């Protein structure tokens, strides 16, 4: 393993698969209880050396991105899809993602709140600059139809215009048939 | 165990703690790799009997709520906080929740997209009726200040008015110091 941080990333990938299996398993309840005990033992071992707060609050920087714990893009966060955002230049960004059972709302469809979460992040990414994060001011979402689970989705966003510290962004979530949710938002850089 | 479905719920609680430990562990990468292999073995066992799609797509109903896999309220979904929603009557609903490392955006704060996800669900809950789900039409969020991690939060929502199949709802997320994010949304019952 060339990059030591990749061990943590691989652990997160394993736990991400475990989340899916936990939701979908049909093993008998009697077997499930002993499995939970095994997982608790692993958790105790991982906790034997752990940072006191959340990932972003770590004092020590050792090559791991401060965003590694992020709820949407964090490669160390098993609850994050994680969204891998590509920069197309000029504030235009996109990401492809397939969402499984962990992101369900209506049967077979992505939870509307998960769509909102992904769009908040990708619209905000139009305004992010290294060391100068942008915070959501307002976000408006329009749901055109259901966003299917287990289907390739594209999230994309772009800058409409910028006013001093405010970036006005727009974006959308789409499947192969077109847009499922569209969004507009204002993202703010705090003055130093 | 009196309720067999509670075994699955306890498994989800164990995996929820594992997610937090996965993000925050500072064990050496060499130890992490063998832990990931143990988790993969557990995942294979859980997958030996599993439903083909997502939880909501199950044909068989055996006392487990169809919402058990839901991304926000699913007691079988380790990625869900899960939000426990209380009905105050007349479409007014509330929930208390403490969010940990898995929900981080800015260091020490809840991801703005996670706030959006919770508010989408709780505003929608004002319109939900048994067997008659409501779908998000539009959702607008205003972020007043950061929402802290590891702090008791209250989510609440109420009905502003109803027009035929549309429920106009409003709500907010608060900590002990007041409102952090407020929201308005339109939720739609599909005609049968």
- Res. A5: pLDDT tops 90: no
Q: Which of A26, A54, A116 sits opposite B101 (nearest CB)?
A: A54
A124: closest CA among A115, A134, A132?
A134
| Mean pLDDT confidence for A109-115 | 98
Nearest to A73 by CA among A61, A85, A62: A85
Average pLDDT over every residue of A135-159: 97
Interchain contact, A138 vs B141, CB within 8 Å: yes
Nearest alpha-carbon partner for B56 in B78, B71, B37: B71
Please state, in angstroms and as integers, the Cα–Cα distance from residue A77 to each residue in A28, B40, B89, B101, following that order: 29, 17, 37, 9
Q: Which residue has the tokens 């990333």?
A: A9
Q: Which of A112, A147, A148, A150 to mutate to test the interface with B (most CBs of B within 10 A)?
A: A112
What's the pLDDT tens digit per position in B55-73?
998 876 678 888 999 999 9
pLDDT at A62: 78
Is B167 within 8 Å of B159 (Cβ atoms)? yes
Query: Which chain A residue shows the shortest CA-CA distance from B60?
Result: A26
- Residues of chain A in contact with residue B112, where contact means CB-CB under 8 angstroms, are 120-121, 124, 135-136, 139
Q: Whole-angstrom Cα distance, residue A42 to residue B155?
A: 33
pLDDT tens readout for residues A86-107: 999 888 999 999 999 999 999 9
**C-beta of residue B29 within 8 angstroms of C-beta of residue B19:** no
Q: Averaged over A46-61, what is the pLDDT?
A: 89
Tokens of A54: 């959340």
Residue A192 has pLDDT above 60, yes or no: no
Note whether A141 contacts B140, CB cutoff 8 Å: yes
Which DSSP category does A187 fall into? E
Amino acid B134: pLDDT:
87
Who among A78, A138, A149 is closest to B142 (CB)? A138
Q: Do A54 and B8 touch (CB under 8 A)?
A: no
Is residue A141 pLDDT above 70, yes or no? yes
Whole-number average pLDDT of chain A: 93
Alpha-carbon dihedral B123, A84, B80, B39, rounded to 10 degrees: 170
Answer whether A4 sits within 8 Å of B29, measured CB to CB: yes
Q: How far apart are CA A168 and CA A186, in angstroms?
A: 5
Rounded to an integer, the average pLDDT of A65-69 is 90
Residue range B127-152: mean pLDDT, rounded: 92
Q: What is the pLDDT of residue B190?
A: 79
- Rounded to an integer, the average pLDDT of A135-154 is 97
pLDDT of residue A155: 98
pLDDT reading at B41 higher than 90: yes
The structure tokens listed for A143 are 């749901």
Contacts of A178 (CB under 8 A, 6+ apart): none
pLDDT for B2 equals 47
pLDDT value at residue A4: 62
């Amino acid at each position: 393993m060339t990059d030591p941080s990749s061990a943590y990333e691989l652990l997160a990938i394993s736990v991400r698969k475990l989340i899916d299996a936990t939701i979908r398993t049909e093993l008998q309840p009697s077997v499930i209880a002993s499995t939970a005990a095994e997982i608790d033992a692993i958790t105790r071992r991982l906790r034997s050396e752990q940072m006191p707060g959340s990932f972003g609050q770590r004092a020590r920087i050792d090559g791991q991105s401060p965003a590694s714990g992020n709820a949407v893009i964090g490669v160390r966060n098993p609850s994050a899809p994680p969204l891998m955002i590509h920069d197309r230049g000029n504030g235009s960004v996109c990401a492809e993602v397939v969402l499984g059972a962990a992101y369900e709302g209506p049967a077979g469809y992505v939870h509307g709140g998960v769509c909102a979460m992904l769009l908040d992040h990708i619209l905000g990414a139009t305004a992010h600059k290294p060391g100068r994060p942008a915070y959501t001011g307002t976000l408006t979402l329009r749901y055109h139809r259901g966003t299917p689970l287990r289907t390739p989705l594209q999230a994309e966003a772009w800058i409409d215009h910028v006013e001093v510290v405010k970036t006005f962004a727009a974006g959308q979530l789409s499947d192969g048939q077109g847009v499922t949710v569209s969004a507009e938002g204002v993202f703010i850089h705090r003055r130093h």
